[in-house]
Amino acid sequence: MKKRRTVAILGAGMAGATAARTLADAGLTVQVFDKGRAVGGRMATRRSASLQFDHGAQFMRAHGSAFAARLAAWEKRGIVAPWVGSERWVGVPDMTAPVGDLLAGLSVRSATTIMRIRRDDGAWYLDDAGGGVHGPFGAVAVTFPAPQIAALLDGSGYALADVGRASYAPCWSVMLAAEGGLTGGLIEPREDPVGLIASDASKPGRPEGVRLTIHATAGWSRRHLEEPRETIIASLIEAAARQLRVSLRPTHAEAHRWRYAQVETALDVASLYDPALGLGAAGDWCLGARIEAAYDSGAALARTIAADLNGDA
C-alpha cells in the first residue's frame, strides 16, 4: 500500500522546525504541533509589557558546515546577527526568529498538547488534551526533550530504542529589569549559584534598558529545583549583584524553571526512526548540548522520513 505523504511533527523548537522545513522542501505535507503559545522551544523569548528577555538559549555556534551555511544565509536576511564576538550568533529581534523563519508558511498548531499517539489501519492519529483528534499521518516525528518523548511513547504503547538513555540538567532562569546603567554583554561565572548572566540590550536589534537573564548552574538548579520562585529570584539577584559588583535595583523580576535545559548524556546518533511504524524522534539529545545538534538531528530525521515516504529507502 502506498504510504501517506503526510507527517506530524511534535515540537516546534529547532529540531522540529528543521525537520518540518526539510520535509516540506522534499515535497511532503507537514503539520507541526506544540504545547507552547509561541514557537522556539528552548530558544525562547518572554515578553512582559514593554520588556523582552531571551530566557532560554542565549546564542548559537556553528561547528559544522551545514549549520554554518544556514547561519550565513540567515545573516544575509537579517534573521541572525553576531553578538559579543564572531563565534556567537543570536536571533533578531529575538531568539525565536530562526525557528520562526524555518516554519514560515507551514501549518503550525500552537497551544496544543498531544497526549497520545495511536496507529490505526496503517496511519497515525494524535489525541490532544482538549479532546481533539488529528490525522491521518504517514509518519510521526517527535522532537521533545528525551524524557518527554519516553513518557509519550510509553503512555501510547510504543517505544524507540535508547531514548531513555539521554539525560538533561535543569536550570533556573531569572529575568530581571533594573534601574541604572550597566555595561557588558555576557559573563559566564559558572560558580554556584550563577552559571551565566546575559544583558539583553547588548544583543543586536533589542530595546535599550537594563534587562538581565541570569541562568543558575546545573548543580544549584538541581538542588533547588522545587523551591518557590520568590526564593530563587532573591538568591540569583543577590549572587548576580556580587558577580557584577553593582547594586541591582529591580523594577521587574520573574523566574522560569527549565526541567530539561541542557543535555548531559547524548546518544551519539543523528536521530531515531522505526520504518515499520513510521515513527521517529530527534533533538539535541541525539548529538549533544548545542542548538546546532538539534538542527542536524532534525534534518537527519527528516531525510530518513522523506526517503521512506517517497519510496526511496
**Which CATH number fits the domain that encloses residue 175?**
3.90.660.10
Looking at the domain assignment, is residue 64 inside a domain? no
CA 15 to chain centre: 7
Q: What is the C-alpha to C-alpha distance for residues 179 and 125, in angstroms, rounded to an integer?
A: 51
**pLDDT digits over 203-249, tens only?**
999 999 999 999 999 999 999 999 999 999 999 999 999 999 988 99
Domain membership of residue 177 as a residue range? 167-264
- Together in a domain, 136 and 33: yes
Residue 69 resides in a domain: no
Which letter does DSSP use for residue 289 in this model? S
**Domain co-membership, 171 together with 158:** no
Q: CA-CA distance, 73 to 198, in Å (whole number)?
A: 25
Tell me the backbone φ, ψ of residue 156, rounded to 5 degrees.
Answer: -100, -5
For residues 206 and 256, state if they share a domain. yes
pLDDT number for residue 242: 93
155 and 27 both lie in a single domain: yes
Q: Tell me: do 218 and 101 sit in the same domain.
A: no
Same domain as 109, residue 240: no
CA angle 97, 103, 107 (to 5 degrees): 140
pLDDT at 313: 53
- Asked whether residue 112 falls in the same domain as residue 154, the answer is yes
- Determine the Cα–Cα distance for residues 49 and 83; give it in Å rounded to an integer: 25
pLDDT tens for each residue of 7-22: 999 999 999 999 999 9
For residues 230 and 273, membership in a common domain is answered with no
C-alpha cell recorded at residue 128: 490532544
Distance CA 130, CA 232 (A): 33
Per-residue cell: 264: 548531559
Same domain, 113 and 153: yes
Examine the domain organization and report whether 237 and 185 are in the same domain.
yes
Of 265, 311, 216, 309, give the one whose Cα is nearest residue 22: 309
- Geometric angle at alpha carbon 22, from 20 and 25, rounded to 5°: 105
Q: Give the residue among 270, 281, 280, 286 at the shortest CA–CA distance from 309.
A: 280
User: What is the domain count for the chain?
Assistant: 2
Contact 109, 32 (CB under 8 A): yes
Query: What is the model's pLDDT at position 108?
Result: 97
AA letter at 289: A
Low-confidence ranges of the chain (pLDDT < 50): 1
Q: Nearest 5°: phi and psi at 299?
A: -65, -40
Q: The domain that contains 146 carries what CATH number? A: 3.50.50.60
**259 is a domain residue:** yes
| Cell numbers representing residue 255 in the block | 523566574
Q: Are residues 194 and 109 in the same domain?
A: no
Residues 239 and 290 in one domain: no
Burial class, 143, CB count within 10 angstroms (exposed 0-12 / middle 13-18 / buried 19+): buried
